[in-house]
Amino acid sequence: MIIKLLGGGMLLCASTAAGILKAHELTRRVKVLCALQDGLILFENEIRYRLSPMREALVSAASADISGVFASAADNLNKTGAVSAMKQAVWTSTLGDGEKEALLSFASGLSAEDADGQIKNAALCRERISKTLKSAEDRRARLYKLYCISGGISGAALLLLII
């Protein structure tokens, strides 16, 4: 009886820990996507209203971005061009595939000569990140419900083992 109880307790603890880790991962991804959007808005505003050079715009965007992509690109800007610096920052980041794809497209558009081209490029990237964010939020909500249900089932299974 004690072995059943210990086994059930271990099963419950393991499934709870796995659920908490997965929920933390999904929550972090949503936060990173929101921060990327905020960074792109700051980049856009720097170009549109302040007519800042690329480095200043990237540094401004880095102030909102928790993934470090914009800060890394700003640091590498002196060594390589804007496109190469941004692509290198994206490839060395821990972002997901959807975010990387959107930011690599953004990096390719950094070669635009005029401010309007930069603004349109940032807006397009923001739109792509927004779609990825919506998908991530939907997945987080769906899996949150799943983990709640599976936690309840695990608790019920533990009670059945005790009885």
Q: Name the residue range of residue 31's domain.
A: 2-162
Task: Give the tokens for residue 115.
Answer: 């401010």
Report the pLDDT value the prediction gives residue 159, as an integer from 0 to 100: 66
82: helix, coil or strand? helix
Contact 101, 88 (CB under 8 A): no
If you search the block for the tokens 């640091």, which residue do you land on? 75
Give the DSSP H or E segment for 158: helix 115-162
Give the DSSP H or E segment for 21: helix 2-45
Report the pLDDT value the prediction gives residue 51, as an integer from 0 to 100: 83
CA 8 to chain centroid: 35
Question: CA angle, 80 as apex, 78 and 84 as ends, to 5°?
Answer: 130
Report the pLDDT value the prediction gives residue 125, as an integer from 0 to 100: 94
Sequential pLDDT tens for the chain (163 residues): 778 778 777 877 777 777 778 778 888 889 999 999 999 999 999 998 988 888 888 999 999 888 889 999 999 888 888 899 999 999 998 888 889 999 999 999 888 778 888 899 999 999 999 999 999 888 888 877 777 677 667 767 766 766 6
Q: pTM of the full predicted structure? A: 0.80
Domain count, the chain: 1
